[in-house]
Structures are given as C-alpha cells and as structure tokens.
Amino acid sequence: MLKRFSARRLVLIYAFLVILGVLAIWILNPKSILEGARDKQRFAELESVDKAIGFAMHQDPNIFLGEANVVYLSLPDLDGDRGCLEYKDLPPLTLGWRYVCVSKGDITRVDGTGWIPIKFNGLPIVTLDSLPFDPLGDAKLGFYYAYVPGWEIDAQLESKKYQWGGSEDRMGTDGGNTNLLYEVGSDLTLMPASVSDRTGKGEVALRAKETCGDGLARANLFFTKWMMPGSGVVTVIKLWYFQPDSSLQEGSRLRLALYNAGMPNYTRISDIVEVLGTGQGGWLAGVLKKPVMLTLGQSYFFGADIGEKGLNVSVDKSPFCDTASSQGGSYVPNQIRELGREAVLENQSADSYGFFGVSYVP
C-alpha cells in the first residue's frame, strides 16, 4: 500500500514539474531573451563605434572616413571582388552607389583595412581595438552592420519590443529616417533609402494604376493629382511611373518629384529622381536619396519631365485619380512649372505621361 501510494505521488510530482517547466518556458521565452540580448549587443557595439568615429574626427578632422556613394558592410568578402556580389539578397542601391565587403580576416581590423575603412590605430589616442560585426551575420535575414562615410551606421534588430511600435521602440525613436533599422551617427539621412528594407517585407508599393478607375493604362493622359488611399504617416522611399508604350527609349531619363497639394504654391517635398527608360512599357521606379514622410488619405502631386527646364505638375481640381472614377475630369489641365522648390502656374499643354505611384515603409 505504501509503495503504491509513493509511486502515485511520484507521478503527480513529475506531472506538476512538467507543467511548471512548460509554464516557465512560456513565461521566460528563451528565444525572445536571446533576441533581446543580441539586440543589446548591437546597441552597445554601434554606439561604441559611433563614439570612436566622433573622437577620431576630434583628433584629426581630415581623417579618411571612406569613399563617397559606398555602403560598407560587415559581411565577409567570399569571392575576392570586394563588391558583395555573392550576397544576392542585398537590397538594390540607388543609382551611382555600390557595396563594399572585405575579407573575413580583415573585417575586425582598425588599421583602415577593416569593414569600416578608418585608420583608428594611427591616431594619438586609440579607443577601438577591433571592429564589431553583427552577432548573427546573415545577409539573407538582414543581420549585418552597414556604414556610410559622413557618418551613419545601421543595424537590423530582432526583438519585437525594440522594433518599430514595440514596447521599447528603438528603431522608430533613434532620430533616423527609417523605422526599419536602428541608426546611429552624425547624420542619419546619409544611408540610401533603398537599403532600409533588407528583407523585402517592409516595403509597400502603392500605384495609381492599381487604385484608380478601371485600372487600365491610358496613353497621353497626365494623371498627377492623387489622394493616396489609406491612413497614417508612412516613409516613402521610391517613386513609380507607368510608361504606357515604348517611347521612353533605353538609356533615356525621366525626372520625377513629389509636391504638396497646398494653394497657392505647390512646394516640392522630395528629391528629384531619375527613372531610366527601357524601351518597353511597364512600371519604372526611381529611388529617393532621402525618404519623405507622407500622410495616406491626403492629396499630393507628381511632377515629371524629360527636359532640363523643370517639372510639369497638374493643377486640375478633379483629375482621374482624385475621384477614383473613370468619368469626368479634365485629363490635360493647366500646368505649373517648378522654379526652385516652388512651382508657379503656367498655361501649357501636358506632355504624354502615364500613372504614378510610391513605395513606402510604415
């Protein structure tokens, strides 16, 4: 009887311990704990490098920080070309920019041959013994450090609490121009906007052709005023243009820009981007050098021109995409032509442009 009672007690105790263990795992969530620990490592490492660069500039204002229009990565160069071409999942760069990687043996060096090309060890006071690299180092998942001279250093975070909108948001509160990365540096607008979305999950394409009227491409119509559907503030990183035919030849350039819809002046709120022709119809995109914050549900104007005198912007009060209707509206309205960052009313015929759109991150 005693043995039977003891065995039963042991089973109950074992079951209780199992339940307790499951509850502990559920409450503690070791995966989340590890993610948070790696993120804290990223915070410490990037802030340490940021301070080291600042102190290096204080000691030698002319110290070489790196080449212009280059994004330096903490990923190892595996094929010897230093162009990071082996990493097929890297986001596309703005026209004129390139990636640089260094060999695995050189990544941490502080003599100017490391992944950040600053010669820290040549200074009177050396504050950095080695360069850090991301604790995961996975290009496909977006876990690597990126640096541009000037300077800005970015990292992708793992823990949801540190991501944009989390309980301890660090991505959206670091003062940078993207909510997809953690940014430190002296100027947090230096990194090309296109590299912010490392996994391709954060970027949303919103194009007038897909949200207005019957959704058909209409050649020779200038649909520029657009109330972007949705709500909330978003960060626009690309401008889109729909070429309805093959008239935009390969190598030719079309310039695009965004304007507010305020009266009486239409002020440009974005960089002017160049879209390269392909000689074929279809959607073409230009990447903004600096992202633009827009409010979905409000109206904006797209300017476009293939010339050098300025951008044409429609001032029609009821164009196609403002009413989301295939009926009514003047499709070839008066134009405003930009002077500086403002546009003034001019009576001109519209050129033959098609639909427009944006890509944004929340």
Cα-Cα-Cα-Cα dihedral sign, residues 35, 40, 45, 51: positive
Domain coordinates in residue numbering, the chain? 35-196, 204-361
DSSP 38-76: HHHHHHHHHHHHHHHHHHHHHH-TT-----TTEEEEEEE
* pLDDT at position 25 over 70: no
* pLDDT at position 54 over 90: yes
Supply 198's token pair: 């490392």
Mean pLDDT of the chain: 77
* pLDDT at position 211 over 60: no
More confident residue, 14 or 241: 241
pLDDT for position 10: 66
pLDDT bucket at 105, cuts 50 / 70 / 90: very high
Q: Are strands 152-155 and 182-185 parallel, antiparallel or unpaired?
A: antiparallel
310 three-state secondary structure: coil
Average pLDDT of the residues in 307-314: 53
pLDDT for position 107: 97
pLDDT tens digits for range 293-309: 888 888 787 777 755 54
pLDDT for position 238: 84
pLDDT for position 339: 41
Q: CB neighbours of 361 closer than 8 A, spacing ≥ 6?
A: 178, 179, 180, 196, 197, 202, 203, 204, 234, 235, 237
pLDDT tens digits for range 143-153: 999 999 999 99
CA distances from 329 to 81, 266, 298, 321, 353 (A): 55, 20, 19, 10, 16
Share of the chain above pLDDT 70, in %: 69
Identity of the highest mean pLDDT range in 130-139, 192-201, 239-248, 338-347: 130-139
Alpha helix stretches (DSSP H) within the chain: 2-28, 30-59, 320-323
Average pLDDT of the residues in 280-305: 79
Amino acid at 30: P
Q: Residue 151, preceding bond cis, omega within 30 degrees? A: yes
